[in-house]
Structure 1
Amino acid sequence: MNWLQSLFSTHSATGSVIIISLIIAVGMGLGKMKVRGVSLGVAFVFFIGILAGHIGLSVDPTVLDYAETFGLSMFVYCLGLHVGPNIFGSLRHEGMALNLWSLCIVVVGTVFALALVPFTGISLPDMVGLLCGATTNTPALGAATQALDILGKPSDSVALATAVTYPLGVVGVILAMMFIRKCFVKPCDLESKPLTDDDHTYIAQFIAMNPAIADKSIVQIAEMTHLKFIISRIWRNGQVIVPVANTVIKMGDSLLVVTSKEDEDTMVVLFGKQVEKDWNGEQIDWNAIDSNVESRVCVVTRRALNGRHLGQLQLRHTYGVNVSRVLRGDIKLLASDDLRLQYGDRVTVVGRHDAVDNAEHFFGNSVKTLEKPNIGSIFLGIVLGLLLGAIPVNLPGMESPIRLGIAGGPIIMGIIVGALGPRMHFISYTTRSASLMLRSLGLALYLACLGLVAGKDFFATVVRPEGLLWVGIGLLITVVPTIVVGVIALHKHKYDFGTVCGIMCGSMANPMALGYANDTLKGDTASISYASVYPMGMFVRVVIAQLLIMFLAN
């Protein structure tokens, strides 16, 4: 059995893979167990990593650092890529409020930590270390130690304080979410309330009775108003017409119009009369309405169409079809001329059967192509994200520059590519299953390596005289601000619980807690709010850590 023992006792590539894989396998398996209806999910990997480090399992430091960096950068980049298409819409509507709530958690936690200094006798540098660990923010620790080096002061105890409080800092946010859910969350708060409406389209039927539009073409009518709409069908004297831009509207025509819900009343004024019929149900068989007109969903798989404006394609003129709606992920978009198509979009095409066939070939509609994730573009995005995170940013009054780091850079790059990739003709599409797999793999790798590092000295440090005090204070710094601000945000601003969890996890730079939230809650609101507040929260904490050392530790 010496060969088996050597795999765990010597630092080899095979042994490293076995140890990390074993930690992940055991952690994921135990994470499925429920105690009183609660399971930790991927978070359990972290605890198994601590236990493995405590019993003496180890991995070559270079390999460990690589796996941890790779896992975290993959997780946050793919998370940014996933929420990118929705992020700017949420920022326009709720982004400022989300970041203000996140900033409240940061400020309350910082003030609370400073208030504990005179009562506990802990030095300010050590308290900054506790704050960095309690908020799981290693870039902030880096900024603090750099500031101490500039002042010529030792930083070993600061790093040790962070190491001791980091594990419970990770767990503390989960405990805070459990506490809030148990004591303050109503059943209605568990229902996902998207930050932005996922359906930006509304279908209605109108009768042309406004003399102002009589005998005018559709393009002329469109020029009469700033509102956006698509007329997908016209019924005239028992016949159905697939309209094009120069189709003339006659008095008494029955029009099927795709617009937005908020413009419904204005459309009544424009066209004349609305038919009382619900066209927005999920069970409507569009092809059964007219035997001569077909409605078909085509998938954009031609790479040349990525980033092209829909109006540039001249589909009405070339193929005699209308595109009424575009489904992007879970969001339904109005197919206006200025809408940029993205690879993987699902477009609803309306027209005669032969015309729709031609349009289908034009879009590609190769579902099989979409089954292959764009691995190359994902790794290119990670490279760009890491380069972005390495850029030094010099702030006035600060001796050393700060950086977004291996977490901040990739998540921002993922958001940029996910939201703006088509404008740069960058194909960022990947399958939902592949995206979830890469996020889960990256987070599990990160937590396994993080646990191994923390477990080596964790228990030895805790039994030191100041160890338990540090752990207790760190847990308070984690739990108190998140619970206080989380409860207020939940009830004052009427956010759903998933959104509040995302704010808490993002403000504390805690991807493991986000993994727990995603495992136990429905919808993507936690991920969206996390991505909205994470960059700013992390940046502010790095600045605060450096400022506290530079101006208060002298």
Structure 2
Amino acid sequence: MRWLFELHQTQPIAHAIGALAFVCVLGMFLGSLKFRGVGLGTAGVLFAGIIVGHFGQPVDHATLDFVKEFGLVLFVFTIGLQLGPGFFAALREKGLKMNLLAAAVVVIGAIAAPLAAKLGGFDPAAVLGIYSGATTNTPALGAGTQAISTMEGVSADQLGMPALAYAVTYPAAIVAIIGTLLVLKQVFSINAPKEADEFAAANRRQVDPLERRTLEVGNPNLEGIRLAEVPGRLEAGVTISRLRHGSETLIAHEESSLHLGDLLVAVGTPGALDRFERVIGHRSEEDLAVVESNITFRRVAVTDRAVLGKTVSQLGLDKRFDVAVTRVTRADLEMSAIPGLRLQFGDQVQIVGSAADLDRAAKVLGNSLKELNETHFIPLFIGIVMGIALGTLPIMVPGMPQPVKLGLAGGPLIVALILGRVGRIRRQVWHMPVNTNLAFREFGIALFFAAVGLGAGAKFFATVFSATGLQWLLAGIAVTMVPLLLVGVFARVVLKMNFMDLSGLLAGSMTDPPALAFASNIAGSDAPTVGYATVYPLTTLMRILSAQVLAIALFG
């Protein structure tokens, strides 16, 4: 076994890879341990790395630096791809208000961290770790550490200090965030399950589901006119799938002529169908969709690149294959397939027609499960290259002594958000299956935590059990709780915010999954996830930028 203990000298790269893997195994075991439903999760890898780094042999620093940066890029890029489609929509209406509140949490914390350091007389490098750990934000740690690594006059001890301060303050921050939620719940006598029910009821009213309705043509003004000429149909967002004239049931086309007594199967929201019904005539008690005929329906996935970006009208499935498109499901949103709706990769399209016609239409749309479950690596690497280019681009900001860089945390995140929203450029599709996305994300953050922990382990215990370590801990708790309490009280008292939105907002403003899990547990609902996802992208971006601004202000 002597060769194994000498591996750090004989084969340093192999030793580094083995140490990283061992730390990930140990850390994920620690992260899986839970107390009252709350655990460290992947953050357990950080503490495993500290333990192994303290008691084990030194690990090759060049390898650790590469693994740390590569893991960070994987982590933020996959987050951006997943959140990109809903990020810009989240800035509208309620999302704008919630993101402003989350931004206030970030700004107050960024001001509180250097103030606490000034009172405690801390080294400026420790401020970056206290700020990142107190807000449980790993990308901020990566951005701050990378920022000072490019500056002159920063010693090797200072380069390792942010990770030490982060490791000291991170566990206390998790407890402090959860404690803040409990304080708010107690002070305002909040009944979390009741507010979860109210939240669900309010959101049900805001989202109108699609329904099917059979209508009979009774308006004499519609005699002989084409379906495309029926007034108000497109504006209401109603689609027509079937048409019965006499005893014959046909697929409805834009060129189909209407006659008095015809039956139509219309799909739309209840309000839209009510308006359309007044134009057509009246509702029929007969459900034409269940009448026995050779017409059926099928859900088909859009995977063929030739149809991406085309509208339902441009596809012309009704003319080409005698098939009607009635609904499109994108993510969790079901939409009426109006002619102007553009199709995206992964859309689930409901088509109506005969079995043979549906087969032909499905072939045109793609409907490949293999494509849906496949990770497209060329666009993935293109996105990473673009993210690195943006992250290393110097950006001059008036009043700042040095150019600001988004770094390897901010650049890939912004690019991924944009690419996730755009979806495709020509034939390159930025689609990643959910399971694959989660796997890459966990892999990336585990590598980052392991590298950071191994690098900080040598001096961790000497620091945390010192007077300085205790001061860092107290400063971190203040940086965590003060912004959350100020914004939480304002949101509840002034804005009358539901606890589901509030708890999700506060957990998201700290990018803290354990706090989100705790909020969901006490509510008995996943409703806080909505607020969390709404503020998470902007919060992460602001944390990264604020960490770099702090680094420049402290060392510039």
TM-score tier by shorter-chain length is 0.7 to 0.9
Worse overlay, 358-367 or 259-268: 259-268
Instruction: Show the counterpart of 1:400.
Output: 402
**Given the alignment of the two structures, is residue 228 of structure 1 paired with residue 237 of structure 2, yes or no?**
yes
Is the 8 Å Cα contact of residues 133 and 164 (structure 1) preserved in structure 2? no
Is the 8 Å Cα contact of residues 172 and 478 (structure 1) preserved in structure 2? no
User: In structure 2, what is the Cα distance between the partners aligned to 1:124 and 1:446?
Assistant: 23
Q: Aligned ranges for residues 51-200 of structure 1 at < 5 Å? A: 51-113=51-113, 116=116, 120=120, 130-131=130-131, 134-135=134-135, 136=137, 137-138=140-141, 141=144, 162-180=162-180, 182=182, 184=185, 186-187=192-193
Instruction: Show the counterpart of 1:244.
Output: 253
**Cα displacement string for residues 181-226 of structure 1 (whole angstroms, at most 9, x for unaligned residues):** 5552713566896999787744444333344444321211257763
Q: Aligned ranges for residues 355-434 of structure 1 at < 5 Å? A: 355-422=357-424, 424-434=426-436
User: In structure 1, what is the Cα distance between the partners aligned to 2:489 and 2:43?
Assistant: 23
Instruction: Show the counterpart of 2:297.
Output: 295
User: In structure 2, what is the Cα distance between the partners aligned to 1:262 and 1:546?
Assistant: 55
**Cα displacement string for residues 313-356 of structure 1 (whole angstroms, at most 9, x for unaligned residues):** 11111111111112223332332233222222221111122211
Cα deviation for residue 357 of structure 1 reads 1.6
Instruction: Show the counterpart of 2:523.
Output: none
What TM-score, normalized by structure 1, do the two folds share? 0.83
Give the 3 Å change call, closer, same or farther, for CA 312–505 of structure 1 in structure 2: same
Cα deviation for residue 384 of structure 1 reads 1.7
**Cα displacement string for residues 36-61 of structure 1 (whole angstroms, at most 9, x for unaligned residues):** 33322222222212212222344211
Q: Secondary structure at the match of 2:478?
A: helix
Instruction: Show the counterpart of 2:545.
Output: 539
Cα deviation for residue 543 of structure 1 reads 3.7
What TM-score, normalized by structure 2, do the two folds share? 0.83
- Number of residue-to-residue matches in the alignment: 536
Give the 3 Å change call, closer, same or farther, for CA 537–467 of structure 1 in structure 2: closer
Cα deviation for residue 376 of structure 1 reads 2.9
Amino acid across the alignment from 1:451: G
User: In structure 1, what is the Cα distance between the partners aligned to 2:434 and 2:154?
Assistant: 48
Give the 3 Å change call, closer, same or farther, for CA 79–515 of structure 1 in structure 2: farther
Q: CA RMSD in A?
A: 3.7
Structure 2 gaps, min length 5: 521-525
Give the 3 Å change call, closer, same or farther, for CA 366–198 of structure 1 in structure 2: farther
Q: Secondary structure at the match of 2:428?
A: coil
Q: Secondary structure at the match of 1:373?
A: coil
Instruction: Show the counterpart of 2:26.
Output: 26
Q: Secondary structure at the match of 1:298?
A: strand
User: In structure 2, what is the Cα distance between the partners aligned to 1:73 and 1:420?
Assistant: 20
Is the 8 Å Cα contact of residues 169 and 475 (structure 1) preserved in structure 2? yes
Give the 3 Å change call, closer, same or farther, for CA 128–27 of structure 1 in structure 2: closer
Is the 8 Å Cα contact of residues 45 and 449 (structure 2) preserved in structure 1? yes
Is the 8 Å Cα contact of residues 102 and 509 (structure 2) preserved in structure 1? yes
Amino acid across the alignment from 1:21: A
Cα deviation for residue 251 of structure 1 reads 3.1
Q: Secondary structure at the match of 1:369?
A: helix
Worse overlay, 526-535 or 482-491: 482-491
User: In structure 2, what is the Cα distance between the partners aligned to 1:448 and 1:217?
Assistant: 66
**Cα displacement string for residues 5-24 of structure 1 (whole angstroms, at most 9, x for unaligned residues):** 12356662222221111111
Worse overlay, 355-364 or 103-112: 103-112
Is the 8 Å Cα contact of residues 41 and 516 (structure 1) preserved in structure 2? no
Cα deviation for residue 100 of structure 1 reads 0.4
Is the 8 Å Cα contact of residues 180 and 483 (structure 1) preserved in structure 2? yes
User: In structure 2, what is the Cα distance between the partners aligned to 1:231 and 1:95?
Assistant: 34
Give the 3 Å change call, closer, same or farther, for CA 45–242 of structure 1 in structure 2: same
**Counterpart selection for 1:323 from 322, 325, 343:** 325
Instruction: Show the counterpart of 1:354.
Output: 356
Structure 1 gaps, min length 5: 280-285
Cα deviation for residue 4 of structure 1 reads 2.0
Cα deviation for residue 394 of structure 1 reads 0.8
Instruction: Show the counterpart of 1:12.
Output: 12
Give the 3 Å change call, closer, same or farther, for CA 530–223 of structure 1 in structure 2: same
Worse overlay, 167-176 or 341-350: 167-176
Give the 3 Å change call, closer, same or farther, for CA 449–201 of structure 1 in structure 2: farther
Cα deviation for residue 373 of structure 1 reads 2.1
Q: Secondary structure at the match of 2:318?
A: helix
Amino acid across the alignment from 1:243: A
User: In structure 2, what is the Cα distance between the partners aligned to 1:538 and 1:27?
Assistant: 25
**Cα displacement string for residues 246-294 of structure 1 (whole angstroms, at most 9, x for unaligned residues):** 11223343322223455344334433434689x9xxxxxx985543211
